[in-house]
Structure 1
Amino acid sequence: MKILIGKGGQVEVLLIFKETEQLDKSQELYDYLKEREIFKAASGEVYSDISPKGNNIILLGLGEKEKLTLESLRKAFYTLGKELMKYKVESAEVEVPKFENLCYKETNMAIAEGLLQSEYAFEKYLSEQKTKPTVKEFFLNVLEDKKDKVEEGIEEINNIIEGIFLARDLINEPAIVMTPKELAIRAKEELSPLGVEVEVFGEEKIEELGMKSFLAVSKGSANEPQFIIMKWNGNKASKEKLALVGKGLTYDSGGYSIKPSEGMATMYVDMAGSGVVIGAMKSIAKSKLNKNVVAIVAACENLISGEAYKPGDIIGSMAGKTIEVLNTDAEGRLTLADALYYAATIEKADKIVDVATLTGACIIALGSIYTGAITNNEEFMSEVEKASKKAGEPVWQLPSNDEYRDLIKGTTGDLKNVGGRQAGTITAGLFLEEFVNDIPWVHLDIAGTSYLPAGTGYLPKGATGVSVKTLYNLAKDCNCSCEHK
């Protein structure tokens, strides 16, 4: 679907609030529907009058005027996109008014995003596709003096959507296809043509760097681990750098602390953090952001073999800290430990965000609505929260008291890789904090938000790509010079 500025289209979309009484057109139809309560203008509600003898009009409800948000617009226009597809509409138009308290450029971006989101489906392995996008052109009839700004916004949202769809495609791939090497290949294929420098380390280089924690997790698999570094140098005049670190477990059986069989079917999704940072890098590069960003992924599989690490092992790390392995299914934090330390010490990032499907405890605490967060720097956390709010991807900060840190202190090693059943999301995050060298850092636990068993709003069943928009907004607006605290 192409989002165009101007007038045109087979079908006209009329935007209606619950309190709307008068329309410029189709008043008789609207009165009829309203009187019989067929159409109540609830947010995202649609009524289509499309037929050979119809008016070729769709009524789109926006709910109560004072409750309109960018997120409600995204959802409403996602529903509209599905409706257009249902009727095999090839072109449509909507007049976009100025809504009170909403930025006009962002309003149009939200509308465009909702429409574009409606076209996504991962149907690569189906014999026959079920989702068949039909809309070739959608026209936004915008205010004359806002056209230039809106055009900028439409280009930007197209770039963001490409990153989201890439993330979803990577995450939705089954583990038989998406091995660590395949993930590295896809990252190169997608990012190198856009000017992102992609470097991949194999097992020999990983060992040379002393990434003992990462290597311990990878030992159970016949597939070689890959350490993927992706650099966007958008501001050569600045030395400031933001690091995005994504968990890259392309499959997680739990190792010797094996998962129950019903819990394994979707464990190819355990690399969602890596998919998100790769997707974010695509959006960042396509938009040519004037920032320096490095994305890092330690990709491997957590399987069982004669060489696999075991509960009771004490392993090392690139940071020199030793770790008591109490549970081999707490493996993501072990791979991230070396990746975070690399970001802090080799890449010398000024700020670091890691994104990971880290704990089932986060799903219990926050469900699939909020992403959990832990930080060592409140100023940076505020930036992440601002970026997430703009994205419509809510984040909830969890506490990080010293009493929680005590739960991961080791007895025979420096640290334990689990702190017990209580506060599992917090202790997992604070384990990661041990490897960021006091650099301002935020951990995002997307265990609940990265994958949905059933779609909701504009988020599809399966991989959601949640956090791509947050990371993009953060990179765009990030002030990397805040004091380390």
Structure 2
Amino acid sequence: MTLQFSLGSAAPESVETPCVVVGVYENGLLTSAAARVDTAAHGAIKRQVESGDINGKAGTTAMLFAPEGVAAKRVLVVGLGTQKTFDGARYQKVNIEAARALGRLPIDGAVSYLTEVDVPGHDAAWRVRTAALAADYAAYRYTATFKPREKSAQPELTALAFAGGDDAQAGLAQAIAIAEGVRVARELANLPPNICNPAYIASQAEQFAAQHDKVSCTVLDHEKMGELGFGSLLAVGRGSANKPKLVVLEYKGGAEGDKPYAFVGKGITFDTGGISLKPGPGMEEMKFDMGGAAGVIGSFVAAVKLGLPVNLVCVVPAVENMPDGDSYRPSDVLTSLSGLTIEVLNTDAEGRLILCDALTYTAQTFQPKVLIDAATLTGACVIALGKHASGLMSKHDDLAAELIAAGENTLDRAWRLPLWDDYQVQLESGFADVANIGGKNAGAITAGCFLARFTEGQRWAHLDIAGTAWDEGRKGLATGRPVSLLVQWLMDRAA
């Protein structure tokens, strides 16, 4: 469900709405909005604090129904934790929990005053943007492949207003555009691989381009890529009945002749591992192996919706990695688009094999200002950083710092890993210019080192989102990362 967001300036005790949302810290300290509601309601909130029904722990919620003296039908009180340690991450968390609690109520609208809470180092626009994105994230429901259900007779939350004035308007506009990009990314990644295959990704990109001025889409099929010399990418797709596509989206929002920024996203729509077959348990999660593609497409959508004054290219190599009599094998030697030959030591290290050709094509065709790839590339990155931070690699300190700053701003964080040439020796081959894996040590880094060989002369960065692109488990959903990070980085460049 898509929430409609707006700003409001009415007093919390007098706004007529199905529900107002206010905050209480762990020591019983009420925010200014909560204090006004409490005064109007003759101490109703303080009484619940004193009785222990409201403890103020971060993310906890309590409901007051139809309190006398308050115009709203309900008051949702959200715990903020300790005031002294309150920060951006906690602010995001309490807004997600508030939205989840609202979603469980039989209401169609609410007004949140959590945006008035002081978050050190962040202004009103940031607070509103973060709150809106948190609410949209919590409201997302995957329904595409369920049997259609009868519409519930009870109302559902469709509109959410935030306390804020003109200084928050820019944050709200950004949130609406970024939320759309995140939803696009999540939906693409959540779809099953029998629907979201290379042809489907290409068709969705073409539809988006047809609906927007300044946007064009080009799709290269396997025959065209064969003519051009995409030997590495095409090898990965050889075992699948779903032929590879190279999807190229262009947005011309900047000055004519300005070099574009370029995003490249790994689009393995399903990864069996190929001949180096993955174990069965957990293989169903490999539909998420196109999380990088989903992320860069979502970032492209958000940039277009924001009307950013930049030129932007989004390139997605969309491929399925399957075992078959025609599949590529361990010990095959492939000739990449760059001319470098690659010894295949493991067919499950396929993401880098499609990315290397896509990166070469993007660099040669568009000569971008900056080239950034996003990929669910290595399990090693998940071991190193877990589910909280994406792995960032770049030889350009300034670019790495920009991306880390964008991640900190949006709470879509990345952590830099070294990309030293010391690691390149692990990729040496006796039969080709480079091997496609570097052994079990420093697996995330050697994957980045492999890609670095195909981005010489480019201002390039690599984001390994294997740990952050989806939530684990049978019911885990795509997260939409790193859309927020990449869009913030683009907004910073546009500014």
Q: Normalised by the size of structure 2, how large is the TM-score?
A: 0.90
The equivalent position to 1:469 in structure 2, one of 484, 487, 493, is 484
* Residue 133 of structure 2 corresponds to residue 121 of structure 1: no
Deviations 1:243-288 (A, max 9, x none): 1000011111111111111142121111111011111110000001
Residue 26 in 1 paired to residue 28 in 2?
no
Residue 157 of structure 2 is aligned to residue 140 of structure 1: no
- Write out per-residue CA displacement over residues 59-100 of structure 1, whole angstroms, 9 at most, x where no aligned residue: 122222333333322221221112122121222223443625
Find the counterpart in structure 2 of residue 42 from structure 1.
57
State which of 468, 476, 490 in structure 2 corresponds to 1:449: 468
Say whether residues 1:278 and 2:297 are aligned partners. yes
1:25 positional shift: 3.0
CA distance in 2, matches of 1:212, 1:151: 49
* Sequence identity (%): 31
Give the 3-state SS of the residue equivalent to 2:142 in structure 1: coil
Check whether the contact 2:309–2:494 (CA below 8 A) recurs between aligned residues: no
Letter in 1 for 2:25: F
* Partner Cα separation in structure 2 for residue 126 and residue 98 of structure 1: 39
Out of 63, 69, 83, the residue aligned to residue 65 of structure 1 is: 83
Inter-CA distance 238–45: structure 2 relative to 1 (3 Å threshold): farther
Residue 432 of structure 1 is matched in structure 2 by 451
Q: Greater shift after overlay, 123-132 or 321-330?
A: 123-132
Deviation at 1:130, TM superposition (A): 11
Q: Match of 1:56?
A: 74
Confirm whether residue 155 of structure 1 aligns to residue 186 of structure 2: no
Paired AA for residue 3 in structure 1: F
SS in 1 for 2:84: helix
CA distance in structure 2 between the aligned counterparts of 1:72 and 1:134, rounded to whole angstroms: 26
Q: CA deviation at 1:14?
A: 1.9
Q: CA deviation at 1:331?
A: 0.6
**1:4 and 2:16 matched:** no
Secondary structure of 1:262 counterpart: coil
In structure 1, C-alpha distance between the alignment counterparts of 2:260 and 2:353, rounded to whole Å: 24
Asked if structure 1 preserves the Cα contact closer than 8 Å seen for 2:402 and 2:489, the reply is yes
Moved more, 79-88 or 332-341: 79-88
TM-align CA RMSD: 2.2
Aligned residues: 472
Question: How far apart are 1:129 and its partner, in Å?
Answer: 5.8
Distance 1:303 1:323, change over 3 A: same
Q: Which residue number corresponds to residue 212 of structure 2?
A: 194
Other structure's SS at 1:258 match: coil
Taking the TM superposition and a 5 Å limit, the aligned residue runs for 1:39-438 are 39-50=54-65, 56-95=74-113, 96-97=115-116, 99=118, 100-127=120-147, 134-142=156-164, 147-195=165-213, 196-237=215-256, 239-438=258-457
Residues 364-404 of structure 1, C-alpha deviation per residue, up to 9 Å, x if partnerless? 11111111121121111011111111121111111122221
Aligned-pair CA distance for 1:51: 5.5
Say whether the 8 Å CA contact 1:245–1:355 is kept in structure 2.
yes
Q: Indicate the larger mover: 462-471 or 191-200.
A: 191-200
Query: Is 1:73–1:114's contact at 8 Å kept on the other side of the alignment?
Result: no
Residue pair 2:240, 2:321 contacting (<8 A) in 1 also: yes
Q: 2:373–2:462: 8 Å Cα contact kept in structure 1?
A: yes
Deviations 1:323-379 (A, max 9, x none): 000111111100000001112111111211111111111111111111112112111
Instruction: Report SS of the residue matched to 1:249.
Output: strand
Unaligned runs of 5+ in 2: none
- Residue aligned with 2:294, SS: helix
Q: How many Å separate the matches in 1 of 2:151 and 2:382?
A: 29
Q: Distance in 1 between matches of 2:335 and 2:29?
A: 69
CA contact (8 A) 1:71 1:110 kept: no
Assess if the C-alpha contact under 8 Å between 2:232 and 2:334 holds in 1: yes
Q: How has the CA–CA distance of structure 1 residues 238 and 474 changed in structure 2, closer, same or farther, with 3 Å as cutoff?
A: farther
Shift of 1:138: 2.3
> Deviations along 1:411-458, whole A, 9 cap, x unmatched?
210000000111111101110011112211111111111111259xxx
In 2, Cα distance between equivalents of 1:454 and 1:393: 21
Could you tell me which runs of 5 or more consecutive residues in structure 1 were left unpaired when the two chains were aligned. Answer: 481-485
Q: Distance in 2 between matches of 1:21 and 1:152?
A: 30
Judged with a 3 Å threshold, the aligned counterparts in structure 2 of structure 1 residues 25 and 299 are, in CA distance, closer, same or farther, namely closer
Find the residue that maps to 1:66 and give its secondary structure.
Answer: coil
**Structure-2 separation of matches of 1:404 and 1:297:** 27
Which secondary structure state, in structure 1, belongs to the residue aligned with residue 317 of structure 2? strand
1:110-133 deviation digits (Å, cap 9, x = unpaired): 122222222101122223669988
Secondary structure of 2:37's counterpart equals coil
2:308 and 2:494 in contact (8 A); partners too: no
Q: How far apart are the structure 2 equivalents of 1:121 and 1:368?
A: 21
Q: Normalised by the size of structure 1, how large is the TM-score?
A: 0.92
Task: Report the Cα offset of residue 237 of structure 1.
Answer: 4.4
Give me the whole-angstrom Cα distance separating, in 1, the residues matched to 2:278 and 2:171.
45
1:483 corresponds to: none
Q: Output the CA distance in 1 between the equivalents of 2:82 and 2:380.
A: 36
